[in-house]
Amino acid sequence: MAQTDAKREKLKVMAIVAHPHDFTHCAGTCGVHAALGDDVTVVTLMSGEKMHNERYYNELMKPESERDPAIVNMDLKEYGAQKEQEFIRAVELFGIKDIRIFHAPEPFRYFLAPEYGQVLSEVILEVRPDILITQSPYIDGNLTGRYNMSNIALDDHSQAAIAVHEGLYIAACPDHEKKIAPHLVALTLYMGIYFNRDQVDFYIDVTDFIEQRVQAEAMFMSQGHTYDFSKRRIEVTVGGQGYWSGTAYSEGFVRSRFEVYDEIPVSPISIKRARESRLSFISRIEGKKG
């Protein structure tokens, strides 16, 4: 587990996702920062009541005479409430208590619900995060022509990311009515799961949180997830990112814009990787310590 450095400045980290399950794509990283003593806030824009209801999907694929009426006629609010509880339990696995749930319309299209830019600006101004993690606003992870409207995807995830950016913009502007101090987020990150491998800027080693990642995935029983399915999914995704980045398990991120440093940054893990033996490298990929 990450240990708090007495000299390290405490940070505020916020993750804003479209649906409850989307949190899992950055859950290990949020757990790393919570373990470091940072304040971590997780927000879902939607309850997900219309998303990933696999039992309902399954019933609709059957002939009408064979469908289970209890599943077909299940109340959306009941399903949404189940997902909300799964979301809360999944987030708490990583030592995070500040959990926010909004109920934006589904499917979400920012141009149909522009008020959520203001809604998100208010939570940003309340929490005042240093780092904000969200989803990609781009089509297939294409970064060519950033903020070009022809490059914006029409799905819940990208549209939620657009609402986040609008919230960031509003929060950064002085409020002449409420007299609230503006807030600029130092670093906005997009989850690397939405990008091609060669577009990811950096990875966070989440090996210490891999069991929690599996448990969080399995938490979403409303989406049909089982422990075996979740373990396999994590091995393929988080394990795949780990192998590519030279560790057992990792989560990748893309910066929304360049950063400026006062010296060339190099990760201690990168230095260790450059100096270690091949056998040590293989052991690290296996998830072994030392």
Annotated domain spans of the chain = 12-260
**Percent of the chain scoring above 90 in pLDDT:** 69
Q: 12-260 — its CATH code? A: 3.40.50.10320
**Rg of the Cα atoms in the chain:** 20
Q: Tell me the mean pLDDT in the region 73-94.
A: 94
Strand order in the sheet with 39-44: 98-101, 39-44, 12-17, 131-134, 187-191, 250-255, 202-205
Cα distance between residue 104 and residue 107, in whole Å: 9
The DSSP secondary structure of 68-125, one letter per residue, reads -HHHHT--HHHHHHHHHHHHHHHHHTTT--EEEE----SS--GGG-THHHHHHHHHHH
Q: What is the pLDDT of residue 145?
A: 40
Over residues 173-232, the pLDDT tens digits come to 998 888 899 999 999 999 999 888 889 999 999 999 999 999 999 999 999 899 999 999
Residue 39's φ and ψ, nearest 5 degrees, are -85, 125
pLDDT at 148 over 50: no
CA distance from start to end of the chain: 13
